[in-house]
Amino acid sequence: MRFVDEYRDAGEARKLAARIRDLCEPGRRYTFMEVCGGHTHTIYKHGLEDYLPESVSLVHGPGCPVCVIPMGRVDDAVAIAREPGVIMTSFGDMMRVPGGQGSFFDAKAAGADIRMVYSPLDALKIARQNPERTVVFMAIGFETTAPSTAMTVLRAAAEGIGNFAVFCNHVTIIPAIKAILDSPDQRLDGFIGPGHVSTVIGCRPYSFIARDYGKPLVCAGFEPLDVLQSVYMLLRQLAEGRSEVENQYTRVVPWDGNPRALSAISQVMELRPHFEWRGLGFIAHSALRMRAEYAAYDAETRFPVPGVRVADPKACQCGEVLKGVLKPWECKVFGTACTPETPIGTCMVSSEGACAAYYNFGRFTRRREVAPLPGLRSGGSAATRATREGGGLERPSSLTK
């Protein structure tokens, strides 16, 4: 596949692994947090952890938008879905997320009209087709998906569609990272920064991590060589005594972000005073809500919601997994009572959840033996093979650092 094979070359992965080993200081251990769940899936799908030295450990962060939604917000959404005349719409990942009163699937089975959509524009289309009913979109995600929600609200306002509303659960990544850094539970040496979020907000907002906490961060892409190169860049910073924000994902992420996307968010939404995160508790200014000018499209204004805080099941340790304190296989119910078919916590539900990644790729215990990388191509692209045979090695531009 064009522009993908080059980032899945097993030979290049082995070379990067050797360079990583050379940078590791004898007797020192390194712990890096991959903030985004997409990175977690890349790491275990392609066996990248087995190509890192024993001294380098990767832990998971709160970068899965479905995973951080607390159970009380699920109950609020179910309450709205049960209102007369309401059609609730949601991304597929949210359908099985358990609340204190069950999931969307449970509410749907009991008679609520809840439909899966691929985008908020699909929800707006349903609103056009059902003018006699109110269509509510369950908006979740970090700054990555907030622009699409904002643009849909602006389109609804421009077209005068009054039977559309948003139940806004968009969260912001910077306060969550700060909460992790301030937590006494975790000692981190650096961060593999979220690539998708950074396409919107850019790299500049992470500067405080290096400036105030002395921790390096590398915004990373999602292919195997992206992740390995990001680990190398973090170790190189530490070896050189630097703590900076670097951008490995230059082919996609602009340093200052996407101004049009940020403008759309700012026009429609504003920061909440505080918001509850699963596992992290209440974090100030860490989520978005609809501005007063768009109250007509705010489901929390149009419908009564219980707003009751619901404690997570005692058996579930999603909170510790989201903070990087536990690996999924250390949870008491992982792979037994809690599976993708019968999830207890959100980390097993979402396609980006850490527990789902470990379960789907067979990581039920700590495993460090080196194995072939199943998703990497041993031969590389035709251009790469031809260059290697000629005595050199051609690399994609983003792998030349």
pLDDT digits (tens, 9 = 90+) for 198-213: 999 999 999 999 999 9
Question: Between 161 and 374, where is the model more confident?
Answer: 161
Domains delineated in the chain: 31-369 (3.40.50.11740)
* 53 contacts 80 by C-beta, under 8 angstroms: no
Dump pLDDT digits (tens) for 258-313. Answer: 999 999 999 999 999 999 998 788 999 999 999 999 999 999 999 999 988 888 77
Spatial distance between the Cα atoms of 65 and 199, rounded to a whole number of angstroms: 16
Distance CA 267, CA 290 (A): 9
pLDDT over threshold 90, residue 371: no
Q: What is the pLDDT of residues 93-144, one digit of tens each?
A: 899 888 888 999 999 999 999 999 999 999 999 999 999 999 999 999 999 9
**DSSP assignment letter at 313:** P
Q: Minimum mean pLDDT among 1-15, 163-177, 217-231, 235-249: which range?
A: 1-15
Evaluate if residue 391 carries a pLDDT over 60: no
Which residues is 396 bridged to in the sheet?
none
pLDDT at 381 > cutoff 50: no
Residue 4 and residue 226 in contact, taking contact as beta carbons nearer than 8 Å: no
